[in-house]
Structure 1
């Protein structure tokens, strides 16, 4: 079955709307600095740094220091626990719809 800890970490990281917005900005760029993420975000650099820390702990972003700046890029494989969880429920619902289809055929031949 699925491991709860990685899934919980990813879901917790993406549950916050500001953090999700930061993650989406990182995904849309090849790499982006903290200063660029702070600009136009409406939150402080300290808040952005905290959001980045959560995203990094969840395995959703990678950082690359370059001199005094740190650049962030998305780690697509960080979403794997979420995709695995969703895939589990996709199969669950497919089976249920198949059962419903069979039942409806029995009721109305």
Structure 2
């Protein structure tokens, strides 16, 4: 399955170590292809690449071009997990929601 993360969730107030934890878990344990959805990927790539943020992210994609489960700030698509940020206090909850959406597919 593909996990599509909206580009806004890469920036603060997201905690970058929590972003890495989430992408690592989804890539390694759930065997998801993790992509970041963005109209303008260059600034996001420049922000996350030096911090190791691309270690578990396959690529950047244009909005609406990939089918999969979305992690987003708004319910723009079916099969979306909605959050305002990825942080230590919610990363485990987000993982459970992602696992639940996978089971209902």
**Structure 1 length as normaliser, TM-score?**
0.23
Higher relative contact order (CA 8 A, sep 6+): 2
Q: Tell me which structure has the larger Cα radius of gyration.
A: 1
**Structure 2 length as normaliser, TM-score?**
0.23
